[in-house]
Every structure is written in C-alpha cells, then in structure tokens.
C-alpha cells in the first residue's frame, strides 16, 4: 500500500519534533530515515502508526487518512517494531510471535494463524528458540523475535525503529535482506529509522534525512550528497567505492 | 467443597452432608437429621459457596489488574477498594449509629445491608475517583497505581478519624469487619456475587488476547489494535466490581487477589487465555482452603479467614517463589 505523509508537524508540548514533513512511500519500496539523535525519526514513525496524532498534516494509506481507520483495522495493515521493547514477560518465542496475529484473530488462534507464525519463525531462523522464554533470550535473539512478531502481523506497511539494534553483523544483513525481499514479494511499504548509514544505503530504495524535525533530503539513495550528511551529522565523511561499486561512507576522525 | 462442608465445630459425616444437600429435592424420600440440614444449608454451605465465589472474584480481579497496571504488586487493594469499603462500613457502623441513635442501632442490627450498601458505595466512589484521575493523566500504569495508593491513604485516614470518635463497641465492630468473615454470607449475597462473577469473568476471558498484547507494552499493544487506555479503565472498573461485591458482604479478605494470579502464573505461564481461568480456580481453592483451616484449627473457635489467608498463602507463595528457577515476572 502507498503511504503519503503530507505536511505533518508534531510537538511535545512546546518542543517541536516534526516540522512540515512530506514524503511518499510506494508499495514494495524500502525507505530509510536517517538523522542525528532527536531529529524526529521515532516521532515520525509513531505518527504514521497513529500512536501519536500529528497536530498539523495528515498521513494517508492508499489515499485514506489513517485517522479514519479504527485501531483494530489499522493494526491489520500497519506493523510496528519499536526502538526498545523492554517488558519481557515469560511468554515463549512462539507465543510472542503469535501476538502479531492478534489483529486478525478472535480469542483463540486458528490453524492458519499458527501456520503463519511457524513460517515466520522459520524465516527468521528462530526454530530452535521457538519454545524458549523470551526473558531468557540474548539481545539479538530478542530483537529477531520482535521483528518476527511484526512480520507475523502480515502488514502492508512495516515501520521499523532501528531494527538492527543489538544484532551482530551477520544477523543485521540477514534480517535486512529478508525484509527487503518480503517488501518486493508482498508489496509492503517499509519505513525504517536507522543510524547505520551504510546499511541504509545498501538496503533501501529511498533515503529521507531528517534534521531537527525537518526533511533536509528526500530522494533515491544514489542522489544523496556527502555534503548533506556532513552538515546533518556534523562530522566530516569520506565516500569510497567498494569492489562491487557500492558506496561506503566512512567518518573522518 | 463437600469435605469443607463436613468439617467445623459440629462434625457431620460425609454421607449426612450429601443427604442434607440434596434434601430439598426430595424431602419425603430422605431420612435426615434436621439439625444437620440446618447446619449445612444455613451455616456451612453459604460459607463454602461464598468462599469459592469470592476467591474466584479476587483471583480474576488481581490477574487483570496485574497485567493492565504491569505491576506484580497490584491487587484489588492497590486500587483502594479495600480501604474505601472499610471506610464505608465504618461510616455505617459509627456515624449511622451516632446520628440516628437508638433507631440507627436497630436499623444496623436488623438491616445489615446498610453496612453492605455503604461499603459498596464507598468503594465505587474510590474506584471512580481513581479512574477519573488516571484518565486525565493518560491512564499510565504508574499514575493509576499512585492514585490508588493515594486513595488508600485518604480512606484509611478517614476510617481512623471515625474510629477516634467512635465508642469502644463501634470500633470493635469496625475492626472485626476488616478481618473478613465468610460466615456473614447469606444466600442473597451469594446470588449477587455469583451474578457479578458470571457477567464479568467471561468479559475478561474475551479480552484475554488484548491482555496478552499489553504484556508487550502500551505502544506495541496499540500497534496491535488494542485501545490501551480504554482497556485499562474498563479493567479497573471490572476489577473494582469483582472485588467490591464480595467484600461488601464479607469484609476485607486480603492476599488472595495478590497471590492467586502469581501462583497461577508460576504454574501455567503468562498467556491470559489460560491464566485468567486458572487464577479464578486458584483463588477459589486458596480461599476455600483458608476458610476450612480457619474453622478447624482452633475449633470450636472460628478464626477470621483474612488472618488465615495470610498465614497460609504467604508461605506457599514464598515456597513457589524460591523453588522456581525461571524468572516468571
């Protein structure tokens, strides 16, 4: 589904977090939000899944304002992985992933729900952990379980807040590859906030750079200029090409 | 349950109890001791049935409060229900008698429902206050718990104030009320409590997948389609009703609402589809066992059940807490 963020502004009391943010994400597209700490990435994601309601502007999904959807209906379309998920009750990984089926099921899960959960657990390579309690998992395993829950929701729009947090290099690439492939296959619109510029450049179609709540760059990843990143992050950077011709951003000390 | 009916100051054999229970169905055919029928139907059975129902109410109420407030210390009493009900009872006992004098005394002794109504009304006032307070502050678990504690202190202070002005007999009556006594339960009280349980427990079960979602945190629950604020307010209301109904009749009975959900969680896990029914059962069993012990331990004296629940429940709880290896909360 197509997401349009149109002139969204949001403030926490007097603190302005988002200022007239506008961009579009097409189905099957992966968009990365880049920006320094406190630039409004998380706030923007929360506005898109209607946890926060923007003061000005609208977010539409396939042309329909998200405020019109009921919470339950929106949950069938939009999946959200928060930056930190700290409450770890001793549910098993399987039960945790099954929570993702909540918008689609009644009191008890159907066979189809169970099937989807099993498939998602396999996709993320969590089979061996399926019946371990989530409060006994390592940080990375836990992160994957959280992502699995959002995928089990089978959303058409997927919002990820620093999905690669706590993941080692191998799992970062594994998870992002999976998300990228699913986005293509199921025509999911993916928006992810991240601090890893190189992963963002490699795995997304478009980049949105936020600074102090304003968009300073929005476009295809090939179009981004080092000067924009330098100014936003206040560090000198060097851009080099790897053997496959992909750009790599290296900060200068 | 049947065994629990047997034991007590006058011991009645198992077969006698069974015959006494079915007696009203076929009064001509059964030869029963009328003394036994009287004890069973008027003294023992209401007590046992009330123990089962009240325990169930406390178990469910504690279970849903612990999850929506995401606090292992939450129990029906965290939201001030007990202290406000005690204040209501004290108000009826002390002021009722004080203002209306002789007539008030008669009214109270002839009509114990004056105390019941006052206790129930006060606990509803308290719950409403907490709901309004927490609603204004976005119904976060922290604010709700703090509002509950604030209310508990206000109502305890008010009760103390009343006791300060009350006569010795009145103060004794108030204190005795706060011990909790299942013996006070009549069949009408039982029907009302049963009605509360019958209407509210299925609702909590129906909401079990939402409670599961809340385990993942408010924002995640919201992204899974749960209106967390509404769920929290509705759960507060349900838990208050489930607790206020039985305690208005039998006085405050502590610990069951706190312990039953924990014991259930330690044994069957955190999935509310199973946790809610098992908290209900655990609550029933705990309170029935406590009351049975209360009746036999220093027979012919009957101890207030509220004292026994703590003596019995806490060691059981500590045992489970210490022997479980996995973290369960």
Both structure tokens of B329: 């909360």
Contact of A102 with chain B, judged by CB distance below 8 Å, is answered with: yes
Percentage of chain B lying above the pLDDT 90 cut: 22
Question: Measured at the alpha carbon of residue B84, what is the angle toward residues B232 and B86, in degrees to the nearest 5?
Answer: 140
Contact of A132 with chain B, judged by CB distance below 8 Å, is answered with: no
Best of B221, B224, B231, B266 to disrupt the A interface by mutation (most A CBs within 10 Å)?
A: B224
Asked whether the beta carbons of A195 and A35 are under 8 A apart, the reply is no
Mean pLDDT of chain B: 83
Q: Say whether pLDDT at B88 is over 60.
A: yes
Weakest mean pLDDT among B92-101, B213-222, B236-245, B277-286: B92-101
Instruction: Determine the pLDDT at residue B206.
Output: 93
Compute CA A172 distance to the chain's CA centroid, rounded to the nearest angstrom.
13
ipTM given for this complex: 0.86
**How far from each other are the two terminal CA atoms of chain B, in whole angstroms?**
32
Contact of A48 with chain B, judged by CB distance below 8 Å, is answered with: no
Binning pLDDT at 50, 70 and 90, where does residue B8 land? low
Q: Say whether pLDDT at B329 is over 90.
A: no
Local structure of A11: helix, strand or coil? strand
Concatenating the DSSP letter of every residue in B75-108 gives: -TTTTTHHHHHHHHHHIIIIIHHHHHHHHHHHHH
A74 to chain B, closest Cα gap in Å: 7
CATH class of B2-66+77-323: mainly alpha
Higher-confidence residue of B276 and A244: namely B276
Q: Say whether pLDDT at B101 is over 50.
A: no
Residue whose structure tokens are 């991240």: A194
Concatenating the DSSP letter of every residue in B249-273 gives: HH----SHHHHHHHHHHHHH-S-HH
Instruction: Determine the pLDDT at residue B326.
Output: 65
Binning pLDDT at 50, 70 and 90, where does residue B186 land? confident
Contacts of B206 in chain A (CB under 8 A): 107
Domain count, chain A: 1
Pairwise CA distance, residues B299 & B10, whole Å: 9
A142 to chain B, closest Cα gap in Å: 12
Strands A247-251 and A15-25: unpaired
Weakest mean pLDDT among A28-42, A90-104, B15-29, B54-68: B15-29
pLDDT in tens, B102-150: 444 544 554 567 788 888 888 888 888 888 887 787 768 888 888 888 8
Instruction: Determine the pLDDT at residue B274.
Output: 93
Domain residues for A235? 3-251
The beta-carbon neighbor of B225 closest among A92, A103, A106 is A103
**Domain extents for chain B?**
2-66+77-323
Q: Mark which residues 71-100 of A lie under 8 Å from B by CB.
A: 71-76, 78-80, 82, 85-87, 89-92, 95-96, 99-100
Average pLDDT on B38-47 reads: 80
Instruction: Determine the pLDDT at residue B6.
Output: 67
Q: Say whether pLDDT at B2 is over 80.
A: no
Contact (CB<8Å) B216/A99: yes
Q: Say whether pLDDT at B100 is over 50.
A: no
Weakest mean pLDDT among A217-221, B31-35, B217-221: B31-35
- From residue A123, alpha-carbon distances to A78, A84, A100, A166, A177 in Å are 20, 22, 15, 19, 11
Contacts of B329 in chain A (CB under 8 A): 89-90
Instruction: Determine the pLDDT at residue A160.
Output: 93
Label residue A149 left, alpha or beta by phi (over 0 means left) and psi (-120 to 50 means alpha).
alpha
Contact (CB<8Å) A99/B328: no
Instruction: Determine the pLDDT at residue B313.
Output: 78
Instruction: Determine the pLDDT at residue B141.
Output: 83
Instruction: Determine the pLDDT at residue B303.
Output: 83
Contact (CB<8Å) B216/A72: no
Contacts of A153 in chain B (CB under 8 A): 224
The beta-carbon neighbor of B327 closest among A50, A90, A102 is A90
Higher-confidence residue of B283 and B77: namely B283
Asked whether the beta carbons of A3 and A189 are under 8 A apart, the reply is yes
Best of A50, A102, A105, A110 to disrupt the B interface by mutation (most B CBs within 10 Å)?
A: A102
Binding-site residues on chain B for chain A (CB distance < 8 A):
70, 205-206, 208-210, 212-213, 215-217, 219-220, 222-227, 269-271, 273, 326-329
Contact (CB<8Å) B213/A102: yes
Contact (CB<8Å) B222/A86: no
pLDDT 10s per residue in chain A (253 long)? 889 999 999 998 888 899 999 999 999 999 999 999 989 999 999 999 888 998 899 999 988 899 999 888 999 999 999 988 776 678 889 999 999 999 898 888 889 999 999 999 998 888 898 888 888 888 888 888 999 999 999 999 999 999 988 889 988 998 899 899 989 999 999 999 999 989 998 899 999 999 999 999 999 988 888 888 888 888 888 888 888 877 888 888 7
Pairwise CA distance, residues B69 & A101, whole Å: 23
Contact (CB<8Å) A75/B219: no
Instruction: Determine the pLDDT at residue B261.
Output: 92
Contact of A106 with chain B, judged by CB distance below 8 Å, is answered with: yes
The beta-carbon neighbor of B270 closest among A51, A91, A100 is A91
CATH (domain of A24): 3.40.50.300
A249 to chain B, closest Cα gap in Å: 33
Residues linked to residue B173 through DSSP beta bridges, in sequence order:
none
Contacts of B227 in chain A (CB under 8 A): 71
B298 half-sphere exposure, CB direction, 13 A CA radius: 7
Contact (CB<8Å) B225/A72: yes
Contact (CB<8Å) A107/B220: no
């Amino acid at each position: 589904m197509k997401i349009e963020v149109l002139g969204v502004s949001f403030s926490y009391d007097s603190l302005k977090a988002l200022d007239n943010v506008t961009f579009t994400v097409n189905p099957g597209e992966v968009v990365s939000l880049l920006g320094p700490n406190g630039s409004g990435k998380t706030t923007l994601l929360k506005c898109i899944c209607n946890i926060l309601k923007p003061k000005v502007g609208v977010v539409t999904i396939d042309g329909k304002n998200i405020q019109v959807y009921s919470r339950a209906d929106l949950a069938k379309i939009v999946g959200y992985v928060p930056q930190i998920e700290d409450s770890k009750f001793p549910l098993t990984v399987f039960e945790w992933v099954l929570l993702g089926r909540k918008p689609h099921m009644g009191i008890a899960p159907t066979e189809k729900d169970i099937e989807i959960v099993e498939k998602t657990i396999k996709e993320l390579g969590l089979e061996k952990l399926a019946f371990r309690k989530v409060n006994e998992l390592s940080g990375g395993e836990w992160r994957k379980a959280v992502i699995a829950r959002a995928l089990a929701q089978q959303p058409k729009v997927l919002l990820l807040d620093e999905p690669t947090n706590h993941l080692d290099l191998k799992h970062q690439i594994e998870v992002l590859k999976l998300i990228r492939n699913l986005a293509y296959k199921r025509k999911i619109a993916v928006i992810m906030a991240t601090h890893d510029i190189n992963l963002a450049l490699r795995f997304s179609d478009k980049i949105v750079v936020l600074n102090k709540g304003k968009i300073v760059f929005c476009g295809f990843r090939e179009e981004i200029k080092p000067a924009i990143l330098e100014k936003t992050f206040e560090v000198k950077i060097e851009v080099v090409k790897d053997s496959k011709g992909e750009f790599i951003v290296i900060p200068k000390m | 349950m049947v065994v629990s009916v047997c034991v007590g100051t006058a011991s009645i054999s198992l077969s006698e109890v069974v015959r006494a229970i079915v007696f009203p169905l076929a009064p001509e055919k059964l030869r029963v001791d009328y003394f036994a029928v009287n004890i069973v139907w008027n003294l023992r059975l209401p007590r046992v049935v009330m123990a089962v129902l009240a325990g169930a109410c406390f178990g469910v109420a504690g279970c849903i409060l612990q999850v929506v407030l995401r606090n292992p210390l939450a129990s029906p009493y965290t939201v001030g229900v007990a202290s406000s009900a005690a204040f209501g009872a004290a108000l009826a006992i002390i002021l009722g008698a004080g203002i209306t004098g002789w007539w008030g005394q008669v009214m109270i002794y002839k009509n114990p429902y004056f105390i019941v109504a006052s206790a129930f009304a006060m606990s509803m006032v308290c719950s409403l206050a907490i709901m309004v307070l927490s609603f204004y502050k976005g119904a976060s678990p922290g604010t709700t718990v703090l509002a509950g504690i604030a209310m508990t202190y206000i109502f305890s202070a008010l009760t103390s104030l009343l006791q300060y002005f009350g006569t010795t007999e009145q103060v004794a009556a108030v204190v005795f009320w706060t011990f909790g006594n299942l013996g006070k339960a009549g069949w009408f009280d039982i029907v009302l409590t049963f009605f509360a349980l019958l209407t509210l427990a299925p609702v909590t079960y129906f909401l079990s997948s939402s409670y599961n979602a809340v385990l993942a945190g408010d924002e995640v629950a919201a992204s899974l389609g749960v209106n967390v604020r509404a769920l929290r307010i509705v759960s507060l209301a349900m838990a208050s009703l489930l607790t206020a109904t039985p305690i208005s009749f039998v006085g405050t009975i502590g610990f069951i609402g706190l312990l039953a959900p924990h014991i259930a969680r330690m044994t069957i896990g955190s999935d509310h589809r199973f946790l809610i029914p098992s908290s209900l059962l655990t609550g029933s069993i705990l309170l029935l066992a406590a009351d049975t012990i209360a009746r036999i331990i220093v027979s012919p004296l009957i101890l207030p059940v509220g004292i026994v629940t703590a003596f019995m429940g806490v060691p059981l709880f500590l045992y489970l807490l210490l022997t479980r290896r996995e973290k369960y909360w």
